[in-house]
């Protein structure tokens, strides 16, 4: 049995790790790859106290043991790759999508009174107010609460509830962030105040958003976020989190003041873009049935070929009640409705996918060996270089396979002038959203245990958010059960998530190919390189996910 194993997956440079020292379990947050030093002894002693307060079941549970897979890992990896290949064959045989507008079945939930009640302005106001309260609590806890991450609400609220939990809801249910985004809510309230109390003066300057910027501000912001999440040494310090949230809020407000609330959120805000991309996979959508809605759509997230506006909330605010639908739809079909995305959005999705994969790579023996051969003063530099190289590598590999896709289609002797894509860049921008199910699947597989185990710390912290000894709701003495999710369940969930995500990606890519290249034969040949890429990435993903459990 290994003496050092990861219980929950790392967030913001945090890992919930359990060590056995003379059979005494100690749990503490640590930076991945860091080495214990003499100065850590005091933190270990504090951690022992924390475990005594919060957990009675720290030993002999799931991740507290090495997990032996029922079959060798190579068989799992090869089997998953074969499943993706088989799914491609089935899609080619049974899919009948042709070139043209893609339509999918949907059910308007507003047919039923219960759903109309859920969408009542009063209910939405309460939900938005809850988001503002959560933001205020997180900032207050960071500035004035206990500096110990265990005794402070901010780290759990940011890295567990918001980053992991909200992503789950956006991908599997609907775009929750568009509703609860507290920065958007506060700005909207400020606009109302400015209109009523300042003689109708506009809070935003409403300057034209520069076309050259596209979504590059969101790309830069996403890279900065992943650096903070994966490599920032102070990412678990509540005060640092409060300062980071404040700085982000300031930048967001400046963007909204300059270009307008929705214009900035749809183009320059990394989190609105990211959650909006994930929500394209979700089974719920908000649709405005009007071609006139395009006058209000100023971003790339809600511009659909049908002329309707989907999940474009600025359009909702300008629409009549009878134009708005809240639809139930098949999963992932929202990824098929977009026009060709700009290059900046293509890079955004690749950075998202690469960074999530890099987060898993930090848990592998290969990375640990790299750190073991690195001087202590150079570890931080090595991590930063690797964080930059991963997205660059993903971009190069993706563009290479897009080039192969275009040339594979040309081998069929089809009429290239009839294709909607004529260059490698156009292929890359056309097929990039087919990778989104893979990013979602990896997120689900990689962070489930972190959410279920570390997320339990929210229960005591809602009663004592500042770590001052309060017990507001009677939950301060709740004890975290780190055995809530076993390694066996985590592994099977990871396999199922990764395989299902790639199967969705295979189907979406095939439909996109039929629409881009027209005839079935050309589409089939064009997809061979993409399928090869997905098979290889499936195998790599499962290998990375297995390392914390079997390594």
Among 44, 64, 84, the domain-final residue is 64
Q: How confident is the model at residue 69 (pLDDT cuts 50, 70, 90)?
A: low
User: Looking at residue 204, what is its pLDDT?
Assistant: 86
pTM of the shown model: 0.83
Same-domain status, 21 and 112: no
Q: Does residue 248 belong to any structural domain of this protein? A: yes
What is the number of domains present in the chain? 2
Same-domain status, 45 and 166: no
Same-domain status, 136 and 43: no
Question: Is residue 243 predicted with pLDDT exceeding 60?
Answer: yes
Question: Is residue 66 predicted with pLDDT exceeding 50?
Answer: no
Q: Does residue 527 belong to any structural domain of this protein? A: yes
Same-domain status, 31 and 110: no
Q: Does residue 168 belong to any structural domain of this protein? A: yes
Same-domain status, 258 and 402: yes
Same-domain status, 107 and 42: no
Q: Does residue 87 belong to any structural domain of this protein? A: yes
Q: What is the mean pLDDT of the chain?
A: 78
Q: How confident is the model at residue 392 (pLDDT cuts 50, 70, 90)?
A: very high
Question: Is residue 331 predicted with pLDDT exceeding 80?
Answer: yes
Same-domain status, 133 and 232: yes
Q: How confident is the model at residue 420 (pLDDT cuts 50, 70, 90)?
A: confident
Q: Does residue 317 belong to any structural domain of this protein? A: no
Phi-psi region of 307 (alpha: psi -120 to 50; beta: other; left: phi over 0): left
Same-domain status, 8 and 101: no
Q: Does residue 306 belong to any structural domain of this protein? A: no
User: Looking at residue 2, what is its pLDDT?
Assistant: 33
Question: Is residue 200 predicted with pLDDT exceeding 70?
Answer: no
Same-domain status, 88 and 12: no
Half-sphere exposure of 116 (CA within 13 A, CB side): 7
Q: How confident is the model at residue 22 (pLDDT cuts 50, 70, 90)?
A: very low
Question: Is residue 45 predicted with pLDDT exceeding 90?
Answer: no
Q: Which long-range contacts (CB under 8 A, 24 or more apart) does 173-177 make?
A: 173/282, 173/283, 173/284, 174/279, 174/282, 174/283, 174/284, 174/285, 174/286, 175/275, 175/276, 175/278, 175/279, 175/282, 175/286, 175/311, 176/275, 177/271, 177/272, 177/275, 177/276
Same-domain status, 403 and 525: yes
Q: Does residue 320 belong to any structural domain of this protein? A: no
Same-domain status, 39 and 128: no
Domain interval for residue 19: 4-64
| C-alpha to C-alpha distance for 533 and 428, rounded to whole angstroms | 13
Q: Does residue 502 belong to any structural domain of this protein? A: yes
Rounded mean pLDDT, 324-329: 92
């Amino acid at each position: 049995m290994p003496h050092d194993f990861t219980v929950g997956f790392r967030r913001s440079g945090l890992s919930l790790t359990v060590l056995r020292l003379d059979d005494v379990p100690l749990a503490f947050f640590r930076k991945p790859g860091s080495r214990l030093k003499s100065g850590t002894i005091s933190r270990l002693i504090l951690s022992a106290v924390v475990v005594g307060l919060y957990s009675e079941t720290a030993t002999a549970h799931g991740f507290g043991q090495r997990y032996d897979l029922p079959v060798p890992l190579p068989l799992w990896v090869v089997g998953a790759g074969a499943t993706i290949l088989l799914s491609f064959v089935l899609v080619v045989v049974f899919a009948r999508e042709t070139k043209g507008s893609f339509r999918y079945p949907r059910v308007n939930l507003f047919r039923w009174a219960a759903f109309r009640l859920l969408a009542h302005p009063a209910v939405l106001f309460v939900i938005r107010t809850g988001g503002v309260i959560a933001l205020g609590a997180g900032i207050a806890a960071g500035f004035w609460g206990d500096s110990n991450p265990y005794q402070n609400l901010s780290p759990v609220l940011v890295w567990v509830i918001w980053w992991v939990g909200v992503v789950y809801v956006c991908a599997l249910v609907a775009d929750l962030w568009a509703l609860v985004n507290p920065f958007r809510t506060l700005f909207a309230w400020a606009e109302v105040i400015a209109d009523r109390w300042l003689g109708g003066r506009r809070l935003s300057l409403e300057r034209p958003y520069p076309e050259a910027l596209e979504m590059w501000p969101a790309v830069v912001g996403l890279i900065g976020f992943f650096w903070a999440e994966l490599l920032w040494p102070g990412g678990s310090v509540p005060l640092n989190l409060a300062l980071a949230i404040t700085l982000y809020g300031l930048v967001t407000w400046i963007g909204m003041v300059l270009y307008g609330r929705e214009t900035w959120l749809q183009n320059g805000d990394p989190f609105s873009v990211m959650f909006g991309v994930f929500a394209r996979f979700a089974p719920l959508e908000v649709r405005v049935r009007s071609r006139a809605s395009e006058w209000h759509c100023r971003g790339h997230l809600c511009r659909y070929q049908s002329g309707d506006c989907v999940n474009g909330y600025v359009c909702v605010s300008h629409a009549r009640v009878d134009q708005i639908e809240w639809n139930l739809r098949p999963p992932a079909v929202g990824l098929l409705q977009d026009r060709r995305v700009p290059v900046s959005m293509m890079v955004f999705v690749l950075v998202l996918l690469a960074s999530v994969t890099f987060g898993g790579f930090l848990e592998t023996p290969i990375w640990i060996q790299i750190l073991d051969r690195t001087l202590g003063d150079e570890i931080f530099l090595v991590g930063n270089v690797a964080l930059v190289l991963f997205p660059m590598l993903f971009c190069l590999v993706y563009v290479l396979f897009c080039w192969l896709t275009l040339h594979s289609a040309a081998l069929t002797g089809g009429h290239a002038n009839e294709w909607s894509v004529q260059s490698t860049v156009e292929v890359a921008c056309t097929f990039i959203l087919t990778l989104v199910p893979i990013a979602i699947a990896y997120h689900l597989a990689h962070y489930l245990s972190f959410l279920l185990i570390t997320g339990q710390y929210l229960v005591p912290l809602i009663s004592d958010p500042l770590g001052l000894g309060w017990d507001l709701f009677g939950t301060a003495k709740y004890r975290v059960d780190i055995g809530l999710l076993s390694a066996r369940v985590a592994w099977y969930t990871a396999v199922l998530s990764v395989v299902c995500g790639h199967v969705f990606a295979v189907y979406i890519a095939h439909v996109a190919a039929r629409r881009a290249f027209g005839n079935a034969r050309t589409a089939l040949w064009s997809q061979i390189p993409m399928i090869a890429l997905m098979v290889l990435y499936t195998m790599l993903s499962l290998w990375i996910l297995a390392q914390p459990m079997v390594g």
